[in-house]
Amino acid sequence: MMCADLADAGPGELHFGLGMRRELARIINKRFPKSRNLLFICGSRSVIDTEAYSDLWNNLKSLDDRTIEFMQIDSREPSIESIDNAVQQAQQYNCDLIISLGGGATIDTAKAVGAMYPAVTGQSVRCYLEGVGDGSQIDWCPLPTVAIPTTAGTGAEVTKNAVLQCRDPLVKKSLRHDALFPSLALVDPEFTVSCPQEVTAHSGMDAITQCIEAFVSCRATSQTRKWALTGLSTGLRSLKKAYEDGTDRSARTDLSACATYSGYALAYGGLGMAHGIAAALGAVCNVRHGLACAILLPIAIMANLPTHRERYDELAASLEYDGANALLEEIRSLNNQLNIPSRLREVDVTHSQIEHLVELSFGNSMSGNPVTFSADELKAILLAAL
């Protein structure tokens, strides 16, 4: 019920709820009746030992008129090289539908593989990345994908981009295309029950950051703010509960809803400063994305408040906080309870890296920030946050 109003929000189809994994075969039969060769990409090794996974796999195997190829991948953030290798492997299977089970990195891998599968053999995904590619455009129809998240964070199951690591230059960039929206998102919060505390904390704070940034973004609309507000309210009330008791299905369901709402909100409303810098932190300092967002969220709010306090006051009032400062203190308190550091030096960021971080922070995410910072202003902010 919580995500019922999202069902028709994007180009894909969304099925949400505990136990939804047992409906996968039925939904595939209805949604993809002509697909015969399925590629199942799994990025979470720990989830394979769970009852939820057994339920899903046994349900999928009931499609006895289809062939199913299994591909185990690394759950770390995908790189140009890992995508190129995965595409080569996938092209051996002659697949016509890709199913992904894992966190945002796995879902992004599946989206990128689906996009590049029909490309000219041997062509690297790098050619199509924003900012570092050669300007090549995806002018074909990517393979359809089914996204089944095992974490509650990125909302990648409802977004139209895939974030990849690039070594030269050392950046994180997106592969974008309207057809990268998964054709089907199946969100069963049961898969998140096996998430360790740290993953729960970092992915949850990523979703919360996405909701806040999408709400105050200069590209926000009334609809994206509604999604962001609903997601944020569920995330704030449940993240600490899920962190302390991973088996709390109600809290896990709330967090999964928060992540999905945040995905819709950012897909149509943009992000902001925290995500702009987080991409740079991941590339330069190898800081995991959710952790980077969690550290940067209070820093970004503080930087934006002097000129755009009214947006945060509106958000705070909608959540029944007494103004922007009270919301900021709630975020800081939550980070502290989740054992998330408050200073960049605590994740080994050094003074010598600040210039490079500034240089790499002005990407697509930063363009949604309500304040336009100069490089010198951003450098001062990061130095103060060391």
Check residue 11 and give its pLDDT: 57
Summarised one tens digit per residue, pLDDT across range 127-149 is 999 988 888 999 999 999 999 99
Contacts of range 120-127, beta carbons closer than 8 Å, 24 or more positions apart = 121/91, 124/80, 124/84, 125/80, 125/83, 125/84, 125/87, 125/164, 125/175, 126/80, 126/166
Token pair recorded at residue 228: 């962001």
**66: phi then psi, degrees, rounded to nearest 5:** -120, 155
Does residue 14 contact residue 3 with C-beta atoms inside 8 Å? yes
Token pair recorded at residue 194: 């096996």
- 263 with 164, same domain: the answer is no
Percentage of the chain beyond pLDDT 90 is 88
Beta bridge partners of 147: 100, 185
The whole-model pTM stands at 0.95
Summarised one tens digit per residue, pLDDT across range 300-339 is 999 999 999 999 999 999 999 999 999 999 999 999 999 9
- 311 with 251, same domain: the answer is yes
- 126 with 208, same domain: the answer is no
pLDDT at 68 over 90: yes
pLDDT bucket at 44, cuts 50 / 70 / 90: confident
Summarised one tens digit per residue, pLDDT across range 359-368 is 999 999 999 9
- 260 with 223, same domain: the answer is yes
CATH number of the CATH domain containing 61: 3.40.50.1970
pLDDT bucket at 45, cuts 50 / 70 / 90: confident
Domain that holds residue 294: 195-385
Beta bridge partners of 69: 39
Summarised one tens digit per residue, pLDDT across range 81-139 is 999 999 999 999 999 999 999 999 999 999 999 999 998 777 899 999 998 888 899 99
- 70 with 112, same domain: the answer is yes
Tell me how many domains the chain contains: 2
CATH number of the CATH domain containing 201: 1.20.1090.10
Residue 223, CB half-sphere, CA atoms under 13 Å: how many?
10
